[in-house]
Chain A
């Protein structure tokens, strides 16, 4: 599983095709869920419902992109949910005090808030070499606490946000919601960087084998730091978009997103132990989870079933991923000898 993307040979030979097949697989499941649900309830396929679906998935997909960067390096970022909440509130608070503030400034502030927190995560993890699971778990508490102090019982209400900003949450272009377009742009840019930039490939090298990557001259600490900063910045952006989408922010905004995002990323085929997976897969994973949730609602399955089904699906996805990687490993081994590290 790790050798797949780290070694150059296998990736471009059979591994590449199989990885692509993985994303195709998620796509097929996605279409199947969509098709079956539409047969049950044709309102599911109408423009309005699809737009809602895409907008909801866009936030998680964007968080999934950042989370993928971090997880690929064998780390994890559990603070994203708290960052979304804090960023959404700070941007909303700014707008309610300076009503005429340009819309773009909202995004800039959101991204900046997230990037600063990401830099703290990244510095502690990379420079002090502390396990990221613990660091970001601690940051989850700390940021949520700061969020609570900042909010201090004053909720952001729709009337305090400029109309132009709220419009981002529901306006569409060629029938596609702006949120989905923004998320798609983020996915495309990061996917290209992860595929073709040296720094992007370095992330896979670090996740496959940190020691080997360091010996090969990869600046591991700097790359891990950058991954956390980008993850934080994207969480900050997602917070700004959360504000646009919901137009209402209280202290619970973004609570529990961290596990949702990790679930989406894992369903999207990103290996939790690093070294493997793509941001496209992660985004599709987010879309799939969101589609299933909506499909359950549209099929008039009791809402109480949603969570159990999502959990079962996640377990299936992990098991399937394991099965797939074992198969790939067996093929690689027979193809080019015992150069495996699992």
Chain B
């Protein structure tokens, strides 16, 4: 029973692993980004049709203000997802860093030093995730559910039921006024700068290729000289630091922090990354897709709020978009499979392995390993 799949599988792997399938993937990715542009334009037209002063600078400012921190956390998460891992602890880190900064500031530390301390906590938390995932080889979804609880718990230990509010007004102003000379919130501007850096790194440098390779075929990447574990460890640390940074912005924007700041935001961040066309199985995704996804989520939220649509309906729309983002790319394949099944019986046996091709990045090397 064990020998039969072992002898059959390599042949089928060769089929799914050829260049043609990868080209198809890239084409699919391109189509996805153009689809996002269409959705964005539709949202803007819809918003303008509902209220004539939708497309003004105030809207721009509030979209940026609402989405800035979430968007900043989405960038490192995108890289992590591209390597085939996930980080669910992002929002807890946001809360923890805010609490650290708030408590230290309340203890009389200068605000600059308190911020640095918060960033250090972010790096340490990220290193904990990274060590457990990359060094010990533990599943990142389980590890980061654990650290989600742990980081939130630490925030609770630090602040308890207290809320800290006495931050310098010069800094909390970032929640009220845009960057001078623009209509962007500070967080939005920082996100855009970071997005450009992330885009250049991912699509134009060796490090970016290493991330893609790690996600597509970890073992092959390892043999090609990429230190897969170091890449993953580094990304988790990066995620920790940027989430801590988002926590600082979030705290200053609200001019207050309590232990439950940003609870549940991790799901929004994950939803944005996946809606941006990043494959949950790793190896596929573009920064422009994530940026578009951020803008769509922010604009849609603004449109719906201005239309006074209940938050419940907004939840349903977010969920529906997320569902569509995975069903649409797979829909064509499902129809093809169904047709093949109807046409003739022999294709039945091949259908499952073909259909699993997008999901096989984590298992694709197993048969080869067995052969060794």
User: Are A and B co-members of a single complex?
Assistant: yes
Interface set of A (CB-CB < 8 Å, partner B): 7, 76, 124, 127-131, 133-135, 137-142, 144-149, 209-212, 214-216, 220, 255-256, 259, 262-263, 266, 272-273, 302, 304-312, 314-315, 318-319, 322, 339, 341
Report 7 cross-chain contacts, Cβ distance below 8 Å, ordered by A residue: A128-B331, A140-B267, A259-B149, A311-B146, A311-B151, A315-B143, A319-B138
Is A211 a contact of B352 with CB atoms below 8 Å? yes
Is B137 a contact of A322 with CB atoms below 8 Å? yes
A306 to B259, CA, bound (A): 13
Given contacts A137-B322, A272-B142, A315-B150, contact A130 B5 (CB under 8 A): no
Q: Choose one: B12, B138, B157, B322; the contact of A304 (CB below 8 Å).
A: B157
Closest 10 A/B residue pairs (Cβ): A308-B153, A311-B150, A148-B312, A141-B319, A307-B153, A145-B315, A311-B149, A142-B319, A145-B316, A212-B5
Contacts of A210 in B (CB 8 A): 352, 356, 363
Closest to B266 in A: A259
B139 within 8 A of A: yes
Closest to A326 in B: B137
Chain B's interface size range is 35 or more
A27 to B237, CA, bound (A): 36
B141 within 8 A of A: yes
Q: Choose one: B8, B310, B370; the contact of A215 (CB below 8 Å).
A: B8
Number of A-B contacts (CB under 8 A): 189
Q: Choose one: B137, B148, B320; the contact of A311 (CB below 8 Å).
A: B148
A211 to B16, CA, bound (A): 13
Given contacts A124-B323, A134-B274, A315-B132, contact A220 B156 (CB under 8 A): no
Is B355 a contact of A129 with CB atoms below 8 Å? yes
Is A308 a contact of B156 with CB atoms below 8 Å? yes
Is B145 a contact of A262 with CB atoms below 8 Å? yes
Q: Choose one: B138, B147, B311, B322; the contact of A134 (CB below 8 Å).
A: B322
Is A318 a contact of B143 with CB atoms below 8 Å? yes
Is B146 a contact of A314 with CB atoms below 8 Å? yes
B11 to chain A, nearest CB (A): 12
Interface set of B (CB-CB < 8 Å, partner A): 1-2, 4-5, 8-9, 12, 86, 88, 132, 136-139, 141-143, 145-154, 156-157, 160-161, 259, 264, 267, 270-271, 274, 280-281, 310-320, 322-323, 325-327, 330-331, 333-334, 349, 352-353, 355-356, 359-360, 363, 366, 369-370
A339 to B3, CA, bound (A): 9
Is B366 a contact of A309 with CB atoms below 8 Å? no
| Residue among B142, B326, B356, B363 having the largest count of chain A Cβ atoms under 10 Å | B142
Is A263 a contact of B326 with CB atoms below 8 Å? no
A139 to B322, CA, bound (A): 9
Q: Choose one: A129, A272, A312; the contact of B356 (CB below 8 Å).
A: A129
Contacts of B370 in A (CB 8 A): 339, 341
Is A318 a contact of B153 with CB atoms below 8 Å? no
Is A134 a contact of B149 with CB atoms below 8 Å? no
Is B366 a contact of A341 with CB atoms below 8 Å? yes
Is A314 a contact of B353 with CB atoms below 8 Å? no
A319 to B147, CA, bound (A): 13
A174 to B315, CA, bound (A): 45
Contacts of B314 in A (CB 8 A): 145
Contacts of A255 in B (CB 8 A): 264
Closest to B314 in A: A145
B15 to chain A, nearest CB (A): 12
Is A214 a contact of B352 with CB atoms below 8 Å? yes
A131 to B371, CA, bound (A): 28
Q: Choose one: A308, A312, A341; the contact of B369 (CB below 8 Å).
A: A341
Contacts of A302 in B (CB 8 A): 157, 160
Is A307 a contact of B136 with CB atoms below 8 Å? no
Closest to A79 in B: B319
A146 to B315, CA, bound (A): 8
| Residue among B86, B149, B259, B316 having the largest count of chain A Cβ atoms under 10 Å | B149
Is A145 a contact of B312 with CB atoms below 8 Å? yes
Excluding A129-B355, A210-B356, A322-B136, 14 further A-B contacts by CB distance (< 8 Å) are A130-B330, A137-B271, A142-B316, A142-B323, A149-B313, A149-B316, A210-B352, A211-B12, A211-B363, A263-B146, A304-B153, A305-B156, A315-B132, A315-B150
Given contacts A262-B145, A341-B370, contact A138 B153 (CB under 8 A): no
| Residue among B12, B151, B270, B315 having the largest count of chain A Cβ atoms under 10 Å | B315
Q: Choose one: B146, B315, B359; the contact of A148 (CB below 8 Å).
A: B315
Contacts of A149 in B (CB 8 A): 310, 312-313, 316
Contacts of A273 in B (CB 8 A): 139
Q: Choose one: A141, A146, A214, A311; the contact of B322 (CB below 8 Å).
A: A141
A311 to B126, CA, bound (A): 15
B339 to chain A, nearest CB (A): 14
A183 to chain B, nearest CB (A): 22
Q: Choose one: B146, B161, B313; the contact of A318 (CB below 8 Å).
A: B146
A3 to chain B, nearest CB (A): 8
A209 to B154, CA, bound (A): 39
B149 to chain A, nearest CB (A): 3
